[in-house]
């Protein structure tokens, strides 16, 4: 007599009897995630539709979703710092760092798009450009790279303009961190605490001794030291993202101007000179001297 298992297709895994079936749309995975809308939001414009245009759209849509979460976490971290709660703020920043690494790695997917492939549908973008990403600009604003001049780009989008106007008038993540340090007894200069938060951050030499004390004093509060390093991590990761963006654009369109009117690679290269937390880098020169 043959063994009872003989002849059975072992590649088919039986479904567990406890798995729910016959669900209504409102209680399903697809319903919870609103997949009907999400997966129908890709609208290639090339005619006939170019195979690689879907890659280009999905790449940028997923980036926007990640930027939405980054902004959500940075707002929460800023709120926790304002409430003297560094521990949950650090948790939010840890998540931001993981998202940044994911965003950076995504460029490797877009880099599979060859110059010839992109050229075949680039024209349908018209003047659409990543420069017009309100969420990316919001991330830059909350980190301190504020530029009121770019608001004009969003005059045609009142909702986006309102978000950016709000962030322009609000303290940055760094502002709230420094205010927390002052409340905890660190000698943060008064001009830093009373600065016009609508202005982009400028290097404050008076902060360097403050951070030197944090880094050199073994008895300095660990959460303050950890927050300093987390801010450096966030800036480093964003710079890696900027660099991968630059290199992906360079290998795809070379020296062409951007679809939004920028100089393209030259514009992206200048962005590498922007910094959010310059004192946290400057202090490294002073440590141990």
* Residues placed in the known binding site for heme: 245
Radius of gyration of the CA atoms of the chain, in A: 24
Q: Which two tokens stand for residue 49?
A: 């539709």
Residues 267-286 as b/e (b if ≥16 CB within 10 A, e otherwise) read bbeeeeebbbbbbbbbbeee
Token pair 């008895």 in the structure block, residue: 219
User: Within a 10 A sphere around the Cβ of 129, how many other Cβ atoms?
Assistant: 14
Six token digits for residue 170: 């609000």
Separation CA 198–CA 64 (nearest Å): 25
CA distance 149 to 164: 11
| Residue set of the binding site for substrate | 56-60, 118, 122, 259
What is the dihedral angle through the alpha carbons of 199, 179, 239, 198, rounded to the nearest 10 degrees?
A: -10
| Helices assigned H by DSSP within 111-133 | 115-119
Distance, CA of 6 to CA of 140 (rounded, Å)? 63
Name which of 237, 251, 243 is nearest 93 in CA terms.
Answer: 237
Tokens 């962005």 -> residue? 271
Return d(Cα 192, Cα 221) in angstroms, integer. Answer: 21
Residue list for the binding site: 56-60, 118, 122, 245, 259
Nearest to 174 by CA among 239, 235, 118, 105: 235
């Amino acid at each position: 007599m043959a063994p009872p298992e003989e002849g059975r297709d072992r590649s088919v895994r039986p479904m567990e009897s406890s798995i729910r079936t016959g669900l209504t749309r409102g209680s399903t995975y697809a319903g919870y995630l609103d997949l009907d809308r999400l997966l129908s939001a890709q609208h290639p414009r090339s005619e006939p539709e170019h195979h690689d245009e879907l890659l280009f759209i999905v790449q940028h849509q997923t980036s926007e979703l990640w930027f939405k979460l980054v902004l959500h976490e940075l707002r929460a971290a800023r709120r926790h710092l304002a409430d003297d709660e560094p521990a949950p703020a650090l948790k939010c920043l840890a998540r931001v760092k993981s998202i940044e690494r994911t965003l950076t790695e995504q460029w490797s997917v877009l880099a599979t798009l060859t110059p010839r492939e992109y050229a075949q549908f680039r024209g349908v973008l018209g003047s659409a450009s990543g420069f017009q990403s309100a969420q990316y600009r919001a991330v830059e604003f909350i980190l301190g790279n504020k530029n009121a001049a770019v608001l004009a780009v969003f005059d045609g989008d009142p909702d986006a303009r309102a978000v950016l106007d709000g962030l322009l008038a609000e303290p940055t993540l760094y502002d709230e961190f420094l205010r927390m340090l002052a409340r905890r007894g660190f000698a943060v200069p008064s001009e830093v605490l009373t600065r016009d938060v609508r202005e982009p951050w400028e290097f404050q030499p008076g902060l360097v001794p403050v951070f030197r004390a944090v880094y050199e004093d073994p008895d300095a509060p660990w959460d303050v030291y950890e927050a300093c390093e987390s801010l450096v991590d966030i800036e480093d990761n964003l710079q890696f993202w900027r660099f991968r963006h630059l290199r992906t654009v360079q290998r795809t369109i070379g020296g062409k101007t951007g679809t939004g009117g920028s100089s393209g690679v030259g514009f992206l290269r200048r962005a590498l000179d922007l910094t959010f937390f310059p004192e946290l880098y400057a202090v490294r020169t002073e440590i141990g001297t």
